[in-house]
């Protein structure tokens, strides 16, 4: 089981796609699966999450493990722009009614969603 936030979700998916049967489930929170335009700023090592980057394209081209991913994302994420880029096709996408890329981590509904998946 992986539990990750932001780019950690991309790393977890990459690992799952390389090691097909080694991970039963991944829970990602606020992951820019389709990239973010903030990547164009090229600070904080965000160039990997430019929407059309080779990293994003390669990750999206492999879908065999998407159904094993529970993707929790904020209604409005100030780091994932546009916000629809936080949704991973084929995954179980759960929107939390919160504003903020890190604020979602402290929201009670996020913890409830994680607990539900772990039971």
**pLDDT tens digits for range 73-113:** 999 999 999 999 999 999 999 999 999 999 999 999 999 99
Residue 44: predicted pLDDT: 67
pLDDT more than 70, % of the chain: 97
- Determine whether 59 is exposed, middle or buried from the number of CB atoms within 10 Å of its CB (0-12, 13-18, 19+): buried
**Hey, is 95 helix, strand or coil?**
strand
In this predicted structure, the answer to whether residue 21 has a pLDDT above a threshold of 90 is no
pTM over 0.85: yes
pLDDT at residue number 63: 95
Give yes or no for residue 41 having a pLDDT over 90: no
């Amino acid at each position: 089981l992986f539990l990750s936030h932001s780019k950690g979700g991309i790393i977890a998916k990459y690992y799952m796609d390389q090691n097909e049967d080694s991970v039963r489930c991944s829970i990602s929170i606020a992951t820019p699966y389709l990239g973010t335009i903030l990547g164009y700023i090229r600070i904080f090592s965000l160039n990997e999450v430019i929407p059309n980057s080779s990293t994003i394209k390669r990750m999206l081209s492999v879908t065999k493990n998407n159904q094993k991913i529970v993707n929790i994302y904020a209604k409005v994420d100030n780091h994932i722009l546009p916000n629809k880029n936080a949704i991973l096709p084929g995954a179980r996408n759960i929107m939390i009614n919160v504003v903020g890329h890190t604020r979602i981590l402290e929201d009670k509904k996020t913890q409830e969603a994680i607990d539900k998946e772990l039971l």
